[in-house]
Amino acid sequence: IPLSVSPAADPAVISPQDPTLLIGSSLVATCTVSPDFPLKAEDLYWTLNGRRLPAASYATLGPSTLSVALARLNGSRQQSGDNLVCHSRDGGILAGSCLYVGLPPEKPVNITCWSKNMKDLTCKWAPGTEGETFLHTNYTLKYKRRWYGQDNTCQEYHTAGTYSCHIPKDLALFTPYEIWVEASNRLGVAVSDVVMLDILDVVTTDPPSDVHVSRVGDLEDQLSVRWSSPPALKDFLFQAKYQIQYRVEDSSEWKVVDDVGNQTSCRLAGLRPGTVYFVQVRCNPFSIYGSKKAGIWSDWSNPTAASTPRSERVAGGCDPKGGEQNTTLRRELKQFFGWVKKHAYGCSNLGIKLYDQWRVWLQKSHKTRNQV
């Protein structure tokens, strides 16, 4: 049988109980011992977040009432509120009050939204400034169709990070939406600027599927990439453009191939022989229902790996070194020819181009010689 006791049995009462305050404000709190308890004001002391407050800040307001003065309060140490506690001399807790000290929220900013295959809408935003209000701040994403009164509230939060929300259905196409975010905490409310968009302007899709990377015969410097367009595109009148990025296995630098167009295959050239490459493809649905606008790039497909073949021929010992020498030599030659052009008017045929042609000829004859 549960014991039900009236609140008067609490040993003491603190006032104010659980106040909300602006940073920098001051507060005078009082602790009044209940008449049932044999304690006097001089038997009491205060702590804030476990730290004893100096007796100099206390004042006796009555036989069983002690006050404490807190000046220029800092932002709350934890979002659940600072713990201001009234103790009896032996350390026992008589009563407590949670202080919520902070700032009102700032306007949320940078609202960006995207729709997956025109079926839903996900938006994310950033809190104003660094977002440190010291108080728990609630964010609500709202949206409505322009010219059609009713406000709607987004329900599914944190789907794409802390400050995000997902609207899964009942979205109309060919109509502008107004979207905004309201931030609220104990000290106030702030509303972001309204963003206006049409779902068709922010469409993205799934990454391409079935990405295959294979060698091109024996060619050492090429790989062929093939993929399938995302299935969702079939349902809507999208065209698609693709982008490929690839990198060498032990490098973190991606090279991007931008002009793939709407084909579902591409050949990468100029690669290093005998090297493992990681390749990813992504898709952008554009020209939705005939508009020329681009959509939003999909995520990259999972990386696919393949290696270029390495030929049997032994790499000439001189080649790598020679390459380094060539660049310095070439630079010097360029400078020389530049000087010649300026000061010796007759030799206009001499130039770096001629030197390059000579180098190509040199490499070709080098190769045929080695293949024998």
Partner 1 sequence: STGDSWGIFTFLCAALCNLPALPALNCSEELGAGQSIQQTYDLTRYLEHQLRTLAGTYLNYLGPPFNEPDFNPPRLARVERVPSATVDLDLWRGLTDNARLAANYRAYSRLLCYLRVLDGQVGTAELRHRLAHFCASLQGLVLSIGGVMSSLGYPLPTGPAGPPAPPGAPVAPNDFLKKMDDFWLLKELQTWLWRSAKDFNRLKKKVPPAVVTLRLEARGF
Residue 78, Cβ density class (10 Å: 0-12 exposed, 13-18 middle, ≥19 buried): exposed
Q: How far is the CB of 278 from partner 1 (least distance, A)?
A: 32
Dihedrals φ, ψ of 209, to 5°? -105, 170
Site stretch for partner 1 (CB under 8 A), options 82-90, 221-229, 312-320, 326-334: 82-90
Q: Are 268 and 322 in contact (CB under 8 A)?
A: no
17 near partner 1, rule: CB under 8 A: yes
Instruction: Tell me if 19 sits within 8 A of 99, measured CB to CB.
Output: yes
- Draw the binding track, 124-163, toward partner 1 (x: CB under 8 A; -: no contact): ------------x---------------------x---x-
- Judge residue 46's burial from the number of C-beta atoms within 10 Å of its C-beta, 0-12 exposed, 13-18 middle, 19 or more buried: buried
Residues 158-177 that bind partner 1 (CB under 8 A): 158, 162
Amino acid type, 16: P
Task: Considering the complex, state which of residue 93 and residue 362 has its C-beta at the smaller distance from partner 1.
Answer: 93
Q: In this chain, which stretch among 76-84, 201-209, 226-234, 319-327 interacts with partner 1, using CB under 8 A?
A: 76-84
Dist. CA 265–CA 242, nearest whole Å:
10
The closest alpha carbon to 108, from 76, 75, 133, belongs to 133
Residue 64, helix vs strand vs coil:
coil
Of 32, 65, 67, 97, the residue at the interface with partner 1 (CB under 8 A) is: 97
Q: Is 92 in the site for partner 1 (CB under 8 A)?
A: yes
Return d(Cα 57, Cα 42) in angstroms, integer: 13
Question: Min. distance of Cβ 8 from partner 1 in angstroms?
Answer: 11
Of 98 and 257, CB closest to partner 1: 98
What span, in angstroms and rounded, lies between the C-alpha atoms of 201 and 198?
5
Q: Does 74 bind partner 1 (CB under 8 A)?
A: no
Measured distance CA(224)–CA(187) in Å, rounded: 60
- Per CB under 8 A, the segment of 71-79, 108-116, 213-221, 292-300 that binds partner 1 is 71-79
For residues 316-355, which are near partner 1 according to CB under 8 A?
Answer: none
Is 4 among the residues that bind partner 1 (CB under 8 A)?
yes
> By CB under 8 A, is residue 78 in contact with partner 1?
yes
Q: Which CB, 29 or 260, lies closer to partner 1?
A: 29
Please give the Cα distance from 30 to 344 (Å, whole number).
98
Q: Quick one: which of 81, 105, 127, 285 contacts partner 1 (CB under 8 A)?
A: 81
DSSP code per residue over 3-21: ----GGGSSEEEESSS-EE
Give the nearest distance from C-beta 99 to partner 1 in angstroms. 10
Q: Under the criterion CB under 8 A, does residue 32 sit at the interface with partner 1?
A: no
* Distance (Å, whole) CA 118 – CA 349: 62
The residue count for binding partner 1 (CB under 8 A) is 32
Among 8, 36, 38, 50, which residue interacts with partner 1 (rule: CB under 8 A)? Answer: 50
Burial tier of 209 (Cβ tally within 10 Å: 0-12, 13-18, 19+):
middle
Least separation in angstroms between residue 104's CB and partner 1 is: 17
Q: How far is CA 287 from the centre of its chain?
A: 28
Choosing from 49, 175, 214, 311, the residue that interacts with partner 1 (CB under 8 A) is 49
Q: Pick one of 30, 34, 47, 184: the residue that binds partner 1 (CB under 8 A).
A: 47
The residues that touch partner 1, with contacts defined as CB under 8 A, are: 2-5, 7, 9-11, 14, 17-18, 47, 49-51, 77-83, 85, 92-93, 95-98, 136, 158, 162
